[in-house]
Amino acid sequence: MRRSKLFGMLLAEDCLISILAMFIGLPVAVVLSEIVSLVTAKLVGMGGIIGHQFSLSWSAIEWTMAGFLAIKLSALLILSRRISRQEIDALLSQSTNRTKKQMPSVIYGLAAICGSVMLAVAYYMAIQEIAWTKVSMMGLTLLLGIIGTMLLFYGIRALIALIVKKGKGNKQLHVFTFRQIQENVIHQSNSMAISSLLILAALCCFGAGVGIAGTNNLSSSHVIDYTFEDHTAEDSSQVLPNIKAVLKENSLENQFSELFEMRVGRIRTTEDYDNAYSMNAVMDSLRSLPQSEDRDVLLNNLDYATYPYLICLSDYNRLLKLSGKPALQLGEKEAAVYIDTEFTTVSRTAMLNQVLAGQPKVELMVVRFILQERFSL
């Protein structure tokens, strides 16, 4: 049999096994992925099992199949090339494990010590958040961690050898067992180190995913929305058409259920707009409360609120409706205070709502308005 025919047979067999593996593995992976996502959402308190929608990316499946087949083909080519260089008698004879060249025990001991030190420094930089300061520090942390793991597994054979020597001579089974472990570590140190790094990376990705999901659940309970701004339009009426045109150019116009204009801005109808707003009644009510750190922080922050940022009520109610929340009802010369939950605390919000419950009056361009309670998304 020629080598080309033998390679073709091996390739056909490997492709058949790979296709069968994908037909079995991909559906199982999809089911397990959905189960893990639902369990994770439940554990972090996100709920949403009833409203969960199944999604499947065919492009991801195609890339997975292509990558899997490419790896299998590459592995087959490497193995075939290695086997094709051998003689027939070497292939027919029983294979024996080659004894790797042993280094002095001092080298292994130094490798284990250096690896331990590098890992300790890498973990210290990560725990103390030094690695997050800039990209170079993150790269240094990853480099120390990878090299440290490789050196530790390379030098751990010295520790195993020390345990064997310290074992009692009459315990032959003890010595034999540790000799077997030592041989496996010597021949598989790189594989063990790479497996350890891959397991660590998988745990980090899983932990990051759970943390991000939990953070998003705590910080924002609204539907996913996006804000687009256009500072190039000379006329405000052209902002929304310009944004729609840009989205259409990038084939994103169908990715949003609804697009509408949210009119926001500062007061520009008076020359002295820096002092167009006065909330002395609110400040006096806050000063009358018992002294506390939260009260002082509110007094300091609101002392600069002389130039308010206004939101159009109808546009804001439209956003509330899309979020499944009741619309904000305001009467004549009434206004609501908007503070996002990311810029306040529970105690300060309660303190401010206590003041707003008295419906204090404020002046906006000499016109008096009654303030209602705080609303946010």
- For the segment 174-195, the average pLDDT, to the nearest whole number, is 73
pLDDT tier at 232, thresholds 50, 70, 90: confident
Q: What is the largest CA-CA distance in the chain?
A: 103
**Cβ pair 226, 256 in contact under 8 A:** yes
The pLDDT tens digits for 256-276 are 878 888 888 877 766 766 777
**Cβ pair 210, 43 in contact under 8 A:** yes
Q: Which residues contact 165 (CB under 8 A, 6 or more apart)?
A: none
pLDDT tier at 114, thresholds 50, 70, 90: very high
| 294-301: long-range contacts, CB 8 A cutoff, minimum separation 24 | 294/345, 294/347, 294/348, 294/351, 295/351, 297/348, 298/348, 298/351, 298/352
CB neighbourhood size of 276 (10 A): 19
**Cβ pair 336, 311 in contact under 8 A:** no
CA–CA separation, 155 and 102 (whole Å):
12
3-class state of residue 367 by DSSP = strand
The region that residue 295 occupies, defined by phi over 0 for left and psi between -120 and 50 for alpha, beta otherwise, is alpha
Give me the pLDDT at residue 377, please. 43
Helices marked H in 100-221:
105-127, 135-166, 172-219
Q: Which residues contact 360 (CB under 8 A, 6 or more apart)?
A: 279, 281, 282, 285, 370, 371
Which stretch, 38-52, 212-226, 257-271, 290-304, has highest mean pLDDT? 290-304
Helices marked H in 44-134:
58-84, 88-92, 105-127
Which stretch, 97-111, 147-161, 222-236, has highest mean pLDDT? 147-161
The pLDDT tens digits for 238-249 are 888 888 888 888
Rounded to two decimals, the pTM is 0.40
Find the angle CA(130)-CA(136)-CA(137) to the nearest 5 degrees.
Answer: 20
- For the segment 142-149, the average pLDDT, to the nearest whole number, is 90
**Cβ pair 364, 277 in contact under 8 A:** yes
Give me the pLDDT at residue 282, please. 85
In percent, the amount of the chain with pLDDT more than 70 equals 79
pLDDT tier at 375, thresholds 50, 70, 90: very low
